[in-house]
Amino acid sequence: MDTQSSSGSSKREEILKNNLDYTLFSWSKQKGLDPICVERAEGVYLYDYDGKRFLDFSSGLMNVNIGHGDQRVTNAVVKQMQNVSYVTPGCATEVRGELGKKLAEICPGNLTKAFFTLSGAGSIENAIKLARLFTGRHKIISRYRAFHGGTYAAMTAGGDPRKLASDSQQVPNVVHVEDPYCYRCPWSQQPDSCKLECISHIERIIDFEGPKNIAGILMEGESGTSGCIKYPKNYWRKLREICDTHGILLIADEVMSGFGRTGKWFGFENHGVIPDMVCMAKGIASGYLPFGCLMVTNTIAAKFDNEPLMIGLTYSAHATACAAALEVIKIYETDHLIENAIKMGNYVEKRVDELKKAHPCIGDFRNTGLLGCMELVKNRNTREPMAPYNAPASAMQVMNQVAARLKELGVYTFVRWNYIFIAPPLSITEKQIDEGIDKISEALKIADASCS
Ligand SMILES: Cc1ncc(COP(=O)(O)O)c(C=O)c1O
């Protein structure tokens, strides 16, 4: 071992020790963790203290859409901080106004008013509160498999099992519906026999719950951590019709699917409808600073022209975070990243089609733009998952081995139950996709061995 890598290793050990001894890691048992110690990150790569390079095939948590280490964002942030870093949300700043105007420009329809938050969960919390204030109704309908964030109302609105440990404290008046999970249709339908039972199901639940009690229907614009479950054709159009019939607000959670991730500015644009509220975070500032936004129509905003808008945060419209977001949005445009997401997404799909021929463990691959999820199965005919929903550790042996092999090969991505996500930064090239796909192919050999 040369001196440089041995000093890298001792530095790594010190960093790891401080992290593990003095900080808590989310959603995990704290003992036995072995996180990558990241020294620097650039483009689609992370580098650890031993000089090992990892391809970031999930853009962090599907948020670093422009890629890592872009100095244009650093410069914009520094410049903003030299003038004003923070003022109270009651003050006006040039950057806040410019960002609001830019978002109104990229959002369709009359989604023209931005309330700035700090995170995805913060946007969801405020959407739920505002939907209730605007409609005077109390119930929110959302999907069981969705994840909307880790704060109480957001966590309640999601159905993701991460909430189960604390769901005795969930907020009231959230009603869940089944997902339109076509690969495992809850109504046992096939694409050619489907009559959108998933929509009739929602209509029935609305009748049971009382349409006049329902403030909003909240859905991810495109599904993310729930497994990139694709909405069937006309699903969103039907949701829009249901909302219009009953005076319910349609709320799109674009925290993960927004900002080019699905080949459009927003996931809902793949479905030809315009929601009443849009929750944003992640890609809005690409993770350079924590930031989010709740975008609402001017109709909703107008209700508060002459009555107080009772929502607020100390860091709403934080000037430095606004500057980061404004620069990141410029980069999507100048670097043609949304166009690249479509092109590279098609390339990923072509490569995964090839993988399917070589790997019997691939049951399904669902992708939109660069938001993709591979679902591993033990048997393609029975579709028995390689690890079940909410798999306990004992059922994760094979998937854990696949994840460990990916890490060893230098691929960082999100592996959950029987899902492997492919959601690299939108700046990725074909050559870098080949690198990731070839390494995934290598790791899948482990899962193939468990196929019948
Ligand atoms: C669809 C969706 N909504 C909301 C959130 C919560 O975002 P945050 O972690 O920034 O609060 C997430 C996080 O993964 C998400 O995927």
Cα separation, 16 vs 37, whole angstroms: 7
Contact in structure between 292 and 117 (CB atoms under 8 Å) = yes
Strand duo 277-280 + 292-297: pairing: antiparallel
Position in ligand 1 atom list of the atom nearest CA 63: 14
Residue whose Cα lies nearest atom 8 of ligand 1: it is: 120
Position in ligand 1 atom list of the atom nearest CA 122: 11
- Quick one: DSSP state of residue 65? T
End-to-end CA distance of the chain: 43
pLDDT of residue 1: 45
Residue whose Cα lies nearest atom 3 of ligand 1: it is: 148
> How much is the pTM?
0.97
Position in ligand 1 atom list of the atom nearest CA 225: 16
Distance 374 CA to ligand 1 centre (A): 20
pLDDT in tens, the chain (452 residues): 455 556 778 889 999 999 999 999 999 999 999 999 999 999 999 999 999 999 999 999 999 999 999 999 999 999 999 999 999 999 999 999 999 999 999 999 999 999 999 999 999 999 999 999 999 999 999 999 999 999 999 999 999 999 999 999 899 999 999 999 999 999 999 999 999 999 999 999 999 999 999 999 999 999 999 999 999 999 999 999 999 999 999 999 999 999 999 999 999 999 999 999 999 999 999 999 999 999 999 999 999 999 999 999 999 999 999 999 999 999 999 999 999 999 999 999 999 999 999 999 999 999 999 999 999 999 999 999 999 999 999 999 999 999 999 999 999 999 999 999 999 999 999 999 999 999 999 999 999 999 99
Residue of 281, 282, 261 lying closest to 270 (CA atoms): 261
Cα separation, 406 vs 317, whole angstroms: 39
Q: Is 249 helix (H, G, I), strand (E, B) or coil?
A: strand
Q: List pocket residues of ligand 1, CB cut-off 6 Å.
A: 61, 119-121, 124, 147-149, 220, 224-225, 253, 255-256, 281
